[in-house]
A and B are shown apart, each in its own frame.
Chain A
């Protein structure tokens, strides 16, 4: 696991045994998971839009931490670069450019919130029930983190066609955004 690699790289630190690594991973997961859920809840309930964007940063950084925990280091780095570096900045630009929405997002009405919460709880109940029923106590036992070389081989080998499709999609979205947002 990546934690093993990390501990081995630190000089003067005794290598952890398998059980200790597992405990460390579970503690890290609990901390990251609780932070993410708390930040996500604050994000969808806060009235200040700029604060919501900053809470989104916490959730995205937590997801990057989870990816490292899962041994997907390249995805974690991409998450930080693209999501936190680019998409959140884009959101902040969107907030600043739409000044009417800047300060607060006033309350919509109790009924709408209740219905939305009901739908959320139902979605959670159905997914959680089926997940617990399907995977019960399946263990994650990855022997080594995946490398960027493996991912590169996979993207430019087996998945070259979806990759090209994504490239065209990004180009189309770029042109579309410019055309839609142009002022005349």
Chain B
């Protein structure tokens, strides 16, 4: 197996995630797209760990999983608060700080 086939697949997933973050306006869907991006990063880390026959890449992949869990917890709490205050979670309507 080539190293590049994993890295290119991960780049495709990353680009799809970027599209999702920019194009969707449902708060939960944007958080899911961020998960897609973090997952692409994880594939990269593990591929490089296999490439260099080193363990630290896998350790940092585990750290990324933990940070993703924390991020989803806080993000969903914010989306919930948004829903409670405005009765919808459309991110394009949050423009209180627009000048």
Residues of A within 8 A of B (CB): 22, 25-26, 29, 33, 36-37, 40-41, 43-44, 49, 52-53, 56, 59-60, 63, 66-67, 69-72, 74-75, 78-79, 82-83, 86-87, 90-91, 93-95, 97-98, 100-101, 105, 108, 112-113, 115-117, 119-121, 123-124, 127-128, 131-132, 135-140, 142-143, 146, 150-151, 153-155, 158-159, 162-163, 166, 169-170, 172-174, 176-178, 180-181, 183
A53-B32, A142-B53, A176-B77 in contact; A151/B23 too (CB < 8 A)?
A: no
Once the chains bind, are B72 and A90 in contact (CB under 8 Å)?
A: yes
Give Cα A150–Cα B62 distance, bound, in whole angstroms: 13
A83-B65, A173-B71 in contact; A139/B1 too (CB < 8 A)?
A: yes
Give Cα A108–Cα B51 distance, bound, in whole angstroms: 42
Size of the B side of the interface (Cβ < 8 Å), in residues, is: 70
Please report whether the interface of chain B is mostly helix, strand, loop or mixed according to DSSP. helix
Give Cα A108–Cα B11 distance, bound, in whole angstroms: 26
Once the chains bind, are B59 and A72 in contact (CB under 8 Å)?
A: no
A98-B83, A100-B83 in contact; A154/B9 too (CB < 8 A)?
A: no
Once the chains bind, are B4 and A43 in contact (CB under 8 Å)?
A: no
Q: Which of B31, B50, B58, B74 contacts A176 (CB 8 A)?
A: B74
Once the chains bind, are B5 and A180 in contact (CB under 8 Å)?
A: no
Q: Which of A71, A100, A117 contacts B19 (CB 8 A)?
A: A117
From 63 to 98 in chain B, residues with beta carbon under 8 angstroms from any chain A beta carbon are 63, 65-74, 76-81, 83-84, 87-89, 92
A56-B36, A120-B18 in contact; A94/B50 too (CB < 8 A)?
A: no
Please report whether the interface of chain A is mostly helix, strand, loop or mixed according to DSSP. helix
Give Cα A7–Cα B91 distance, bound, in whole angstroms: 50
Q: A151 to chain B: which residues have CB within 8 Å? A: 55, 58-59, 62
Once the chains bind, are B2 and A140 in contact (CB under 8 Å)?
A: yes
For A142, A178, A180, which residue has the most chain B Cβ atoms within 10 angstroms?
Answer: A180
A40-B36, A154-B59 in contact; A135/B4 too (CB < 8 A)?
A: yes
Once the chains bind, are A105 and B5 in contact (CB under 8 Å)?
A: no
Once the chains bind, are B1 and A101 in contact (CB under 8 Å)?
A: no
Q: A178 to chain B: which residues have CB within 8 Å? A: 77
Once the chains bind, are A108 and B77 in contact (CB under 8 Å)?
A: no
Once the chains bind, are A101 and B74 in contact (CB under 8 Å)?
A: no
Once the chains bind, are A123 and B14 in contact (CB under 8 Å)?
A: yes
Sample 22 A-B pairs with CB under 8 A, ordered by A number: A29-B1, A44-B20, A56-B32, A56-B35, A66-B43, A72-B58, A75-B42, A75-B61, A86-B69, A90-B73, A95-B28, A101-B27, A105-B29, A115-B22, A123-B11, A123-B18, A131-B8, A138-B2, A140-B50, A159-B56, A181-B76, A181-B81
